[in-house]
A and B are shown apart, each in its own frame.
Chain A
Amino acid sequence: MFKTFVAAIGGLAIASTAAAADISGAGATFPAPVYAKWAEAYKAQTGVGLNYQAIGSGGGIKQIKAKTVDFGASDKPLKPDELAAAGLYQFPTVVGGVVPVMNLPGVAPGQIKLSGALLGDIFLGKVTKWNAPEIAALNKGVPLPNLPITVVHRSDGSGTSFLFTSYLAMKNAEWGSKVGASDSVQWPTGLGGKGNDGVSAFVKQTAGAIGYVEYAYAKQNHSTFASMQNKAGKFVQPTAAAFGAAAASAPWLKSPGNYILLLDQPSASAWPITGATFILMYRNQENPANGAQVLKFFEWGYNKGDALAASLDYVPLPANVKGLLKKQWAKSITAGGKPVYVAK
């Protein structure tokens, strides 16, 4: 019943733009600005437009499963068995990250250092004051105020929350067993703001608050971020280079179905809460021409879209990863056993 409902909505949306042989996609809101910018430039060059509906990752997965779009987009990679069951293939497009942001009077951006385990204890409500010994141990010489910690999290289901909670579950055993990792979880404490702007507003309005937002949002709003300890034990600041380092040091070759979270990667300069956003397509394309158009579009994005992505504070994939993925396409996406498109 629900599938037909989604199909009906998707059908309506497609019918309105079916005039040209445009590519249609739906899903994650996080990469929507990049796809829009790429599409604009791509249309100017090739005449092929993109109709992308930023309806959320969950919606994107539902739409591609209902076959109402040429591709779905999700901030959360599907597990290999789930991909196989649906006959889908996934590949990443751009990289982003999650940044803890705070409101601490007298503290500069990056001045507070946190580890994953400590961040977990804060979000569990176990560390409740900024001058608690656990925080002070990592921040010698920083004037920590005697303020209660107010935890702010996303109220809406979000890939940002998925990345953040996955990271906490990875680094903090109690978080893993008590709360877990998902788009939305049962938060042990704190209040929820809607979207990055909602979280950011509550953090700004509450002295002593800590929340988490997407990197691009934190950067554009000059938020007071925390430095995070990565797997190599170094404290790093959230920069495009730190996200790129995480993506470059990830084991892409050893990840079946491209199921990969870029969390806690080994590189000494890697930002620990990094993640890619993904495209979902059918392995067997019923309409090879459409499939080829989608791949051509993302090939263009890989080859020429880096500057556009960077201008919006998204981090492009490392060149070797992109080369690897382009080679995968010929084998992975086929129609009648033949590749729909062979990337150059």
Chain B
Amino acid sequence: MATTELASPKGAPPGHALGEVIFRYACLGAATFLLAALGGVVVSLFIGGLPAFREFGFGFLTSTTWNPVNEVYGAAGPIVGTLITSFLSLLVALPLALGVSVFLVEFCPPRLSRPIAIAVELLAGIPSIVYGMWGLFVLAPWFAKHVQMPIAMDFAPDSLVGKIFSGTPNGANIFTASLILAIMILPYMAAVFRELFLTVPPQVREAAYGLGCTPFEVIKAVVIPYVRRGMIGVIMLGLGRALGETMAVTFIIGNSHGFPHSLFDSGSTIASTVANEFAEATSDMHTSALIALGFLLFVITFIVLAVARLLLREAKV
């Protein structure tokens, strides 16, 4: 049994046994505390959201109505908005992060590589509200003027391009929110990719060069396969951050409930909805619906991490 094992640690010199026991229990305590906190959050979110789940049932997941006046709530708009912005941001950030890290590891002169790496890590530390304000005051107007206006002028509203990119030209939409998210997860992903690439033993890489591989072939055939499992983990963590990011998105997504109808339409995410409405939610059902949203975000994040685990397991075989 575990407890007897804890009580008589193997290999401890006489006289040190007590210290070892305390050490083990302290570690066990830390692990239990973490699990208990996690469980507590899940349970309290679920209990808080229960009135909303009971009232609206499965319709809470499929309805786009979000009407605090009549107390009718449906989470489909924010759920879809969350998934679209997160995956879109990943789509933008992944190639860029790969480019940055490969450059740092393979091509960058050693003298420059360290300052650039530090700069990338610094970028990861910028608070999200700063990205939000930059998005609102710099990116959105620029985007409206130089991207949305030309598209709106040059394409008919009912053409395919017009449909995909239709929207009020003010830069507050799903796409700019995804761009901001991409910029936010990019430095983090690039920094960890770089660390991963550095774990590839130099002998392996040099052997590949010795066989006459080009740098592209070395990256493609040697480096990336070597660290593939780690990379999937990083991608999933980046996605996890994008899913839960709140402030920056709230500033720039346009905050309209319901499905976005085009790439340049405004929308909302789970986190932005909660951030917007929680402080002023006075009725119990409104509060409950917001807590239920929090629970759903938790479930979505959990599913993403579980899929990551599955992918890792497959990669191992």
Q: A residues within 8 Å of B by Cβ?
A: 1-2, 5, 55-59, 61-62, 76, 150, 155-159, 179-187, 190-194, 198, 201-202, 205-206, 209
Contacts and interface: CB of A to CB of B under 8 A. Distances in A.
A193 B255 contact: yes
B92 to A, nearest CB: 22
Given A150-B170, A202-B170, A205-B170, A156 B44 contact: no
Main secondary structure of the interface of A (DSSP, over half): loop
A185 B67 contact: yes
A157 B280 contact: yes
B70 A180 contact: yes
A58 to B, nearest CB: 4
Contacts of A202: 170, 172
A194 B172 CA distance: 11
Nearest to A155: B255
A105 to B, nearest CB: 14
Contacts of B140: 201, 205
B168 A201 contact: no
5 contacts: A180-B70, A191-B256, A205-B171, A206-B168, A206-B169
Interface of B: 44, 47-48, 65-70, 136-137, 140-141, 144, 168-172, 250-251, 254-257, 266, 268, 272, 275-282, 287, 291
Given A2-B48, A202-B172, A61 B254 contact: no
A181 B68 CA distance: 9
Contacts of B65: 186
Contacts of A192: 254-256, 266, 276
Contacts of A59: 279-280
A92 B125 CA distance: 43
A186 B257 contact: yes
B114 to A, nearest CB: 38
A185 B280 contact: no
A190 B251 CA distance: 15
Contact of B282 (A1, A61, A156): A61
Contacts of B251: 194, 198
A198 B44 CA distance: 32
A209 B144 CA distance: 14
B280 A56 contact: yes
Contact of A150 (B70, B168, B256): B168
B54 to A, nearest CB: 15
Nearest to B287: A2
Contacts of A56: 279-280
Given A180-B70, A186-B66, A201-B136, A156 B170 contact: no
B47 A1 contact: yes
A77 to B, nearest CB: 12
A185 B137 CA distance: 26
A191 B250 CA distance: 12
Contacts of B137: 201
A194 B250 contact: yes
B250 A155 contact: yes
Contacts of A205: 140-141, 144, 170-171
A61 B282 CA distance: 8
In the A-B complex, the 4 residue pairs with the smallest Cβ-Cβ separation, listed nearest first, are: A157-B280, A56-B279, A155-B255, A192-B255
Contacts of B280: 56-59, 156-159, 183-184
B37 to A, nearest CB: 14
A57 B257 CA distance: 22
B256 A57 contact: no
Given A157-B281, A206-B170, A183 B68 contact: yes
Contacts of A194: 250-251, 255, 276
B281 A1 contact: no
Given A186-B67, A191-B254, A192-B254, A58 B279 contact: yes
Given A182-B68, A194-B251, A187 B256 contact: yes
Which of A5, A62, A201 counts the most chain B CB atoms within 10 A? A201
Contacts of B44: 1, 5
Contacts of A190: 256
Contacts of A182: 68-69
Contacts of B168: 150, 191, 206
Nearest to A150: B168
Nearest to B281: A58
Contacts of B172: 191, 193, 202
A194 B246 CA distance: 12
Given A76-B282, A187-B256, 15 more contacts: A2-B48, A56-B279, A155-B250, A156-B276, A156-B277, A183-B68, A183-B277, A183-B280, A184-B276, A184-B277, A186-B67, A191-B256, A192-B254, A192-B256, A206-B168
A218 B299 CA distance: 42
Contacts of B278: 58, 157
Contacts of B282: 57-58, 61-62, 76, 183
Nearest to B141: A205
Contacts of B48: 1-2
Which of A55, A156, A158 counts the most chain B CB atoms within 10 A? A156
A291 B154 CA distance: 66
B255 A186 contact: no
Contacts of B276: 155-157, 184, 192, 194
